[in-house]
Structure 1
Amino acid sequence: MPVEVPTTADLLQVVREVWPGDDLLDAVDIAADGGGAILLGPGTHVLYRPLNLPSYVRLVGAGTGATSIRAGADMEYLIGVDDHASSVSVEKLRIECAGKARTGVRIVPAPRDPANGLDYGVTSPDPRHRMFDVEVYDAAHSGVVLGEHARGTRLDHVLVRRAGTVGFHCGMADSYLTNCEATVVAGPSYSAAAAFWIGSVNTVYANCKGWWGRGSGWRVRGSRNRFVACESQDTAWHGWYVEYDLNTFTACVADSAGFAASGGIGGVDGFYFAGAGATTATGCLAFNRSKSAKSQRHGFNIPAEMLAIELDGTERFWGNQGRDNAGLLVNVRG
């Protein structure tokens, strides 16, 4: 028997306008009946418990300079998605954690269980959540958390400012982050803090920037990801700390790792590759912003196998440049 696929009109049958002073949580309950769009007018909505969004609901503000959702009490996260939810979208608003919410946006759906009717939708095995034109401020720990089962997620123009430990915690697969950036103010240690903590697989990061924080700009602990025109800048620790293999880096930049003004320490590198049996870095750039204050030790600190000649005559480390590093532009270990 053919499966009935809901149309766009069916999914967006409920449209509720909410202004400051109205009950936002009640509007979510209304929109949950078949999916809908919650249009938030200008102003600040203060929440005293997390806001969980069900399937097919769009939470849309009037713009990041007009509409805010603010944490009014301590909570684990400010905005989340229901377990097994599909196609939730958060758009055009500012999320103010105010140091009270541990996480700004938490997209950690439960695993699929089709045998028991718990699926993400009739058209795809992925939940396919979206964030567009969103700002997240002052999360106590993480600005945005994307869990292992948040497959097919797309983020564009999402900005995280002053996260406590991690800007974007990415554990999902088959997703896309474009034009995103984050700053991190603290963290329990240099290695724990990161603007982008990458545990994802088979995900694309394009034109994203991690900067100004006690930890690294990027800590990569996932494989089969592609990083295109991404940047670290003014980080206290390594700009890029790459622990896992099978990743591709194209036209990426490390600017002033170990930067003193962000609490930097000596002996850190623009790019540090812990192991790279099958990693490729092409056309990347590593430099210090100042000739007089050379905080970044090596531009690229790589294992010898990254320079090994492959059977087709190519190397995995090619066309990389830089200037004003305190040590060698390329330091080859072992």
Structure 2
Amino acid sequence: MDQPAYSRRGLIWGAGLTAAAGATAGIFAAPAVSGQPLAEPAEPWTYVPPGGSIADSIEKGARAIQLGAGDYPVEEPIVLPHGTQLRGLGHLSQLTAVEEVPAIILVGAAGPAYGVGIVDLAIDCAETAKVGIDLHIVGREGNWYGDNDAVCRLENLWIWGPVNDGVVYRGTDNRSVHSSRVRVRQAGRFGFLIGESESSTASDCWWIACEATTIRQTGESAGFEVRGANHFFQACKAWYCRDYGFRIRGTRNKFTGCEAQDTRLHGWSIEWDMNTFVGCTADTAGMWDVGGEPDSADGFYFADGTGTSIVGCQSFDRGPRGRKEQQRFGFNVPAEMLAQGRLIGHSGWGNTRGLVHER
């Protein structure tokens, strides 16, 4: 749920910051008299006004940065060092690419980065920036108590129109990164790219209530491209994707209550084994409105199934706007999954060739 500037959460969060300044609790104090300017932010927060340079503030040592309501043009990537907290006012605070940049925000930049927080702001890639946020974390030097994990946090973010990817998670030390309520719209390739390759992957991270759409048919794109291992996904959604919804090429990942809706190719393309799925949904793969063809894509497609289980999941074609059904099979699975009882409590309807296909 989006939080207003003077929400109860904001007041509690900022109480300790402004008490010393004698102001009302919050990062910014409410004006005592109508028409008076707001009080100056209390330490350790540095206020950067719209149009100001976030990078300059960081270079001068700022590590807790509050943005206002307005636009912040980005000509070069903003690099966030250890512990930096970057906070806006929801979608009212917009970082906008005005030059071609590899990413609007870099965390780690192939080095260590610990405890970075990016909260409550909008990132407009403007079909100019290749990536919205790139977390490329390698190394542990400077981590609190020598922690093994990066422990960064992304929360309540809007990311629009990246040439390639909304958020990228990569690097050998990219672990325990939590992303919640991150919305990526119209990604050119992946909404969320989780693990760049086997040698530059992410592991042991969480995604909660995140969502993504994609805009180009490449045959490879996906709302969520999962290449890492031992991740947790809860209540996430890939929708209006011009290729896949979720494409999974990693192992030991857990998906709970997630959904793929209105995809051109498979809603769920599970290409690697040893993952688990509980209460997940596929809604109308092969969807006409994103370029799909009837009888061409499945709700759930499992390439392998010797160590994968799927429990209480649902796969259906809702037949939008009176058109004929489009989704081919609800569940397209290897025979061993059925023989070993690892497809359990499934349901669905409206699939052109039936609910379950055993091969």
> Could you say what secondary structure the match of 1:159 adopts?
strand
Gaps of 5+ in 2: 1-15, 18-41, 196-201
CA distances 1:181-206 after superposition (whole Å, capped 9, x unpaired): 0000004x22x110000012111000
Deviations 1:94-131 (A, max 9, x none): 0000011000000011244xxxxx35332521011110
Q: 1:38 aligns with which of 50, 53, 65?
A: 65
Contact 1:31 1:37 in 2 (8 A): no
1:145 aligns with 2:145: no
Q: Is 1:318 equivalent to 2:344 in the alignment?
A: yes
- Does residue 67 in structure 1 map to residue 90 in structure 2? no
Counterpart in the other structure of 1:295: 326
Separation (CA, whole Å) in 2 of partners of 1:238 and 1:267: 8
Alignment of 1:127-206 (within 5 A): 127-148=150-171, 149-171=173-195, 172-187=202-217, 189-190=218-219, 192-206=220-234
Question: Alpha-carbon deviation of 1:13?
Answer: 6.4
**Counterpart check, 1:54 vs 2:54:** no
User: 2: distance between equivalents of 1:119 and 1:27?
Assistant: 21
- 8 Å Cα contact 1:269-1:301 kept in structure 2: yes
Paired with 2:192 and 2:292, the residues of 1 have a C-alpha distance of 21
- 2:135 paired with 1:107: yes
User: What amino acid does structure 1 have at the position aligned with 2:194?
Assistant: C
- The one of 250, 262, 274 aligned to 2:290: 262
Q: Residue 307 of structure 1 aligns with which residue?
A: 338
What is the deviation of 1:14?
3.2
On the 8 A contact 1:16/1:31 being kept in 2, the answer is: no
Tell me, yes or no, if the aligned pair for 1:121 and 1:127 is still in contact at 8 Å.
Answer: no
Contact kept? 1:164, 1:185, Cα under 8 Å: yes
Secondary structure, counterpart of 1:321 in structure 2:
coil
Q: 2:179–2:210: 8 Å Cα contact kept in structure 1?
A: yes
Q: Flag structure 1 segments of 5+ consecutive residues without an equivalent.
A: 1-7, 113-117, 310-314
Shift of 1:63: 1.3
Q: Does 1:244 align with 2:272?
A: yes
Alpha-carbon shift at residue 25 of structure 1 (Å): 1.2
The alpha-carbon deviation at position 264 of structure 1 amounts to 0.9
Does residue 1:330 correspond to 2:356, yes or no? yes
Identical positions, percent: 36
Q: Tell me, what secondary structure is at the counterpart of 1:63?
A: strand
Q: Is the 8 A contact 2:53 2:72 kept in 1?
A: no
RMSD: 1.6
2:239 to 211, 214, 224: 211
Does the 8 A contact of 2:160 with 2:184 survive in 1? yes
* Off by >3 Å, runs of 4+ in structure 1: none
Q: How many residues align?
A: 308
Distance 1:273 1:51 in 2: 40
Partners of 1:281 and 1:323 in 2: CA distance: 18
Distance 1:119 1:275, change over 3 A: farther
Counterpart secondary structure, 2:203? coil
Q: Equivalent residue for 2:57?
A: 27
- The TM-score, its normalising length taken from structure 1, stands at 0.89
TM-superposed deviation, 1:23: 2.3
Cα distance in 2 between the residues matched to 1:22 and 1:299: 51
Deviations 1:264-320 (A, max 9, x none): 1342100000001010000000000117421100000000010123xxxxx111000
Distance 1:263 1:292 in 2: 14
Give distance in 2, aligned partners of 1:129 and 1:237.
33
Amino acid paired to 1:56: G
Task: Give me the whole-angstrom Cα distance separating, in 1, the residues matched to 2:130 and 2:100.
Answer: 8
SS in 1 for 2:133: strand
What CA distance in whole angstroms lies between the structure 2 residues aligned with 1:31 and 1:94? 23
Match of 1:281 in 2: 310
Q: Could you tell me which residue of structure 2 aligns to residue 115 of structure 1?
A: none
1:78 aligned residue: 104
SS at match of 2:286: coil
Partners of 2:130 and 2:182 lie apart in 1 by 18
Code of the residue aligned with 1:178 in structure 2: it is I
